[in-house]
Amino acid sequence: MAFDFFNREKRAGDTSSRIPPGQVETKKFPVLHYGSVPRVDLTNWDFRVWGLVEKPITLTWEQLESLPRKTIVTDIHCVTRWSKLDTAWTGVPFREVVEMVRPNPEAKYVMAHAENNFTTNIPLDVLLDDDVMLAHTYDGQPLTPDHGYPLRLLVPKRYFWKSAKWLRGLEFMPADKPGFWEDAGYHMNGDPWKEERYGTPTWW
Ligand SMILES: Nc1nc2c(c(=O)[nH]1)N[C@H]1C(S)=C(S)[C@@H](COP(=O)(O)O)O[C@H]1N2
Ligand SMILES: [Mo]
């Protein structure tokens, strides 16, 4: 048997404690998004970081791909009630980006920007967790188009809608602001362990 680097067999033992309230485990990998899968041409693709940062950057695909990378195995939880355990992702740790751009002390939230104007907001302190990355590889293979090729955000500790597929940029902000699904009623924070599925409507 191959060396079980991430100890998946042992991790598989007590799965019930890893399923947040109201979630059901799936072995499949469902595809969910609004709109159609974008066709991405890497020759004119770029990745931008701007807003409350000392040094805004624009990276080409080659530059992004040459940044330090790591692999993590983690569980993901979709607000539509499926959870998938032990998914393996490789990509650029979010902290690598932070070191490059150096956020100002006033930066407290980040808006992730993706193709077709998809956005999602996440608190900066959540992104600073060491399981957050710009993922370009799933289970050892480049992301498939429907799962976000060439790059997606991965924020394992939030519902999966915060893990923006087809990621193109990060905007550092002083205050929170709803993204695409948050504007449609989903929770601003989205912690699966607190079942933060829907937010309080503004007319409440
Ligand atoms: N750009 C973009 N990213 C997105 C979405 C989307 O509509 N557009 N949907 C989110 C939602 S609701 C989920 S559950 C996950 C699904 O990711 P998957 O299709 O790889 O399972 O992507 C998230 N990222
Ligand atoms: Mo979702």
pLDDT reported for residue 9: 56
Which residues are near ligand 1 (CB < 6 Å)?
A: 30-34, 78, 114, 118, 147, 160-161, 163-166
Question: Residue 57 maps to which CATH number?
Answer: 3.90.420.10
Pick the range with the lowest mean pLDDT from 86-90, 108-112, 155-159, 200-204: 200-204
In a domain, 89, yes or no: yes
- 161-178 pLDDT per residue, tens: 999 999 999 999 999 999
User: Would the pLDDT of 88 be above 90?
Assistant: yes
pLDDT band at 2 (very low <50, low <70, confident <90, very high): low
Residue nearest to atom 23 of ligand 1 (CA): 161
Could you tell me how far CA 80 lies from the centroid of its own chain? Answer: 16
pLDDT band at 14; cut points 50, 70, 90: confident
| pLDDT for 172 | 99
Query: Does position 1 have pLDDT exceeding 50, yes or no?
Result: no
CB-count exposure of residue 18 (10 Å: 0-12, 13-18, 19+): middle
Parent domain of 160: 44-194
Q: Which of 116, 163, 168 to mutate to test ligand 1, by most ligand atoms within 8 A of the CB atom?
A: 163
| DSSP-based three-state secondary structure for 111 | strand
Number of structural domains (the chain) is 1
Q: What pLDDT, on a 0 to 100 scale, did the predictor assign at position 203?
A: 57
Q: Kindly give, in sequence order, each residue whose CB lies less than 8 Å from that of residue 14, ignoring residues fewer than 6 positions away.
A: none
Q: Which atom of ligand 1 is nearest to the CA of 80?
A: 14
Is the per-residue pLDDT at 77 higher than 80?
yes
Mean per-residue pLDDT, 115-123: 98
> Mean pLDDT in the chain?
94
Query: Could you identify the atom of ligand 1 that is nearest to the CA of residue 146?
Result: 19
pLDDT score for 200: 76
Ligand nearest to the backbone CA of 28: 1
Residue 58 inside a domain? The answer is yes
Q: How far is CA 40 from CA 45, 121, 151, 166, in A?
A: 7, 23, 10, 9
Structural domain contains residue 16: no
Confirm whether 34 is domain-assigned: no
Do the domain assignments include residue 200?
no
Cα of 113 to ligand 2 centre, how many Å? Answer: 16
pLDDT band at 6 (very low <50, low <70, confident <90, very high): low
Name the closest-CA residue to atom 8, ligand 1. 33
The closest residue, in CA terms, to atom 1 on ligand 1 is 165
